[in-house]
Amino acid sequence: MTKKRMAMIGFFFVLLIAVGYRVYMAYFFDPYVHYRNSNISGEIYRFESPLILKSNEVKTGFYDVHVTEGSINSIYGTLNVNQVFYHYFFDKNTENGFEENGKIKLIPSKFKPIKTTKQGIVLENEYGVFQVESEIPEGKYELSVNSDSGDSKFFIQVLSDPSNVKESYNVNEEANKKMAIELRKGELLEITPDNQSNSDFIIHLGYVNKVK
């Protein structure tokens, strides 16, 4: 066997190990892969804030946080009554704090495609972390917001994976500007509140074109 052939075999062997390691790490350390369908019991939880959820109170997994009374404050900002945060990840090794006075209902996330029209996607009183392609179609969008108060603010991130931010934006409704966002397959779109407005709001993702 020639040295060149041995070198090629060695290269492909190392590449195979690297790919296998990447898949292993993704499965065991990327919650979007490992815990996506973990809560198969579909158990629903109800709590009253302020509180700290401990590891033995909620099964590890993704939940949609519905605020049924008052308001709560979490690591993702303030959520008010009738507002929802989709795909909140609860880790058994982490305590999750909720401040202010309110009641919440935790429903296991379904990760279903968001309903779209020819004009795009409308999120009404909905925050969360959404996966491109499985929930939001890949493409170029124009993002705009509208609320009863007229002064809503949002913090928006596009993540290449759960730990790497590709782009981030501060969206201020008063500026009355549409924001161009490009979403590619496998990326995550995170939308969180950036102020404590109690008003209802609508986020519109208007479809512009395919990504190249």
Higher pLDDT, 36 or 100: 100
Summarize the confidence of residues 179-208 as an average pLDDT: 83
- Of 108, 133, 151, the last residue of a domain is 108
Say whether both 54 and 30 belong to one domain.
no
Q: Is the pLDDT of residue 29 over 80?
A: no
Asked if residue 36 lies in contact with residue 62, where contact means CB atoms within 8 angstroms, the answer is yes
Say whether both 141 and 120 belong to one domain.
yes
- The two beta strands, 116-117 and 120-124, are antiparallel
Q: How far is CA 125 from the centre of its chain?
A: 15
Q: Is the pLDDT of residue 197 over 70?
A: no
Residue 20's pLDDT is 44
Q: Is the pLDDT of residue 34 over 60?
A: no
Residue 93's pLDDT is 72
CA distances from 174 to 7, 27, 146, 151, 171 (A): 61, 42, 9, 5, 9
Residue 138's pLDDT is 92
Q: Return phi, psi of residue 14, to 5°.
A: -65, -40
Q: Is the pLDDT of residue 190 over 80?
A: yes
Say whether both 141 and 100 belong to one domain.
no
Q: Is the pLDDT of residue 212 over 70?
A: yes
Say whether both 91 and 120 belong to one domain.
no
Residue 184's pLDDT is 92
Q: Is the pLDDT of residue 17 over 50?
A: no
Number of domains in the chain: 3
Residue 62's pLDDT is 82
Residue 40's pLDDT is 47
Read out DSSP for the chain?
--HHHHHHHHHHHHHHHHHHHHHHHHHHH-HHHHSTT--TT---EEEEEEEEE-TTTS-SEEEEEEEEEEEEEETTEEEETT-EEEEEEE-TTS-EEEEEEEEEEEEE---PPPPEETTEEEEESEEEEEEBTTTB-SEEEEEEEEESSS--EEEEEEEEETTEEEEEEEEEGGG---EEEEE-TT-EEEEEE-S---S-EEEEEEEEE---
Say whether both 94 and 176 belong to one domain.
no
CA proximity to 156, closest of 183, 189, 179, 120: 189
Question: Which two three-digit tokens encode residue 41?
Answer: 């019991």
Say whether both 9 and 50 belong to one domain.
no
For residue 99, list its beta bridge partners. 73
- pLDDT 10s digits, 47-82: 787 777 765 677 877 888 898 888 888 877 888 888
40 in any annotated domain:
no
Say whether both 124 and 97 belong to one domain.
no
95 in any annotated domain:
yes
Summarize the confidence of residues 147-172 as an average pLDDT: 82
- Of 87, 108, 129, the last residue of a domain is 108
Domain containing 9: what range?
A: 3-34
Say whether both 95 and 128 belong to one domain.
no
Residue 33's pLDDT is 54
- Of 108, 126, 144, the last residue of a domain is 108
Residue 123's pLDDT is 87
Say whether both 122 and 103 belong to one domain.
no
Summarize the confidence of residues 81-86 as an average pLDDT: 88
39 in any annotated domain:
no
